[in-house]
Chains A and B, each alone.
Chain A
């Protein structure tokens, strides 16, 4: 079946612009995660959803970052007034059920964001 998909695969924008990154999780997966990976680093947690609600948004770096998942499937990560430091690969992952200890997270290919 289809895995996690993310669009766009690449996004180039100018400093100060607004961007939206989309994640389509595996069908039926109730938990959805956003991570950010800077060059040469491991991914860092941003936010995760259980169903439609954000269960943990402690990783969002500031109020320019916001994410939604209005129908409990597709999620959009929104970044306002982009800065050059936002340049990174934004990864989405999903897991089947409640985000418990034994859930495997399935990762999408990522969106590579470059802020000029």
Chain B
């Protein structure tokens, strides 16, 4: 079982719909990242969370540390939101020291139709 699991793997929506992508992880973490990757393009960091909720424009990210779960929401989706959305965690050891590397989920392919 992967340490970071995302669902759904593929998501198709109509323009204007509210979208939710979920991420569950099985390790202790110091931070969770949501990333966006366009076809043929690089990876862009959307959010970094260690607790609570963050909002940027139409994007909202939440995290529940106790349940080891995070969600990425997109309100009023638009075709330009079509991309792969990746959840990644920065794990920490039993002593609380953060590892430098990120561990990634497999990504969610989002397609928004006009």
Interfacial residues, chain A to chain B (CB-CB below 8 A): 31, 33, 35, 40-45, 48, 50, 55-56, 59, 91, 93, 99-102, 104-110
Contacts and interface: CB of A to CB of B under 8 A. Distances in A.
Main secondary structure of the interface of B (DSSP, over half): strand
Given A42-B105, A42-B107, A43-B104, A101 B98 contact: yes
Interface of B: 4, 30-31, 33, 35, 41-45, 48, 50, 86, 88, 90, 92, 98-107
B48 A104 contact: yes
A31 B100 contact: yes
Contacts, number: 67
Given A102-B48, A102-B50, A107-B42, A41 B102 contact: no
A110 B30 CA distance: 26
Contacts of B48: 102, 104
A42 B104 contact: yes
B44 A107 contact: yes
Nearest to A109: B42
Contacts of B100: 31, 33, 48, 50, 55-56, 99
10 contacts: A31-B100, A35-B102, A40-B106, A43-B104, A45-B101, A50-B100, A55-B100, A56-B99, A105-B45, A107-B35
Given A42-B86, A107-B44, A109-B42, A101 B50 contact: yes
A29 to B, nearest CB: 12
B102 A105 contact: yes
Given A102-B50, A105-B102, 5 more contacts: A43-B43, A99-B99, A99-B100, A102-B31, A107-B42
B52 to A, nearest CB: 14
